[in-house]
Amino acid sequence: MIYYNKIQRRNPQDPEGARKWYPTLKSRMQVSERELIEEVADEVTLNPKEADMAFYQLLKVVKRSLLDGKTVKLGGLGTFYLTASANGADTRDEANAQLIKAVKIRFQPSAELREAVAKATFASTESLLNDQVEVVPITDEEP
C-alpha cells in the first residue's frame, strides 16, 4: 500500500493559474540496509552474517564497476549508469575532463520492477487516522 498526502499548489507549467490539489506520495518509513539484509537472509539459505557479506560485496563491485566506466545491470532490479554535466568548449581539442562539473548516478528500473510498481494501490494518509483504507489501484482511465 502506498500512501499519499493532498497538497495544494500551482501547476509549474502554469504559474499564474489557479491553485489545485495534487496527491503526493508519502513514504511510510525508510528501510535500512540492516533490515534488507535480514529480509534477504530470511528468503534464502544464508544466515544474516552471510547475507550482510553478500550485500557488502555487491555494493563494492557496483562501485568499482561504475568507477571503471561500466554500466551495471542488476537483473530484475534495473541498470545503474553515470552521466555528467559539463561546460561546453568551442573546439573538439578544448573539450576535456576539466569541463566536467558534476557526475550523477542514474538508475533505469527494469521492466519487471516497472510492472510491479504499476500494480501499486494507493490510500490517503487521512485514512490512517480513520482506520479505514480506501484502496485505489492505478488505471489508465480518467476519473
pLDDT of residue 99: 95
Let me know how many helices (H) and strands (E) the chain has, helices first: 4, 7
What are the φ and ψ backbone dihedral angles of 52, each rounded to 5 degrees? -60, -45
The four Cα atoms 35, 40, 43, 44 give a dihedral, to 10 degrees, of: -140
Q: Which amino acid is present at 14?
A: D
pLDDT of residue 98: 95
pLDDT of residue 126: 85
Average pLDDT of adjacent 10-residue blocks, the chain of 143 residues: 88 85 86 89 90 93 96 94 95 94 96 95 83 58 50
pLDDT of residue 10: 86
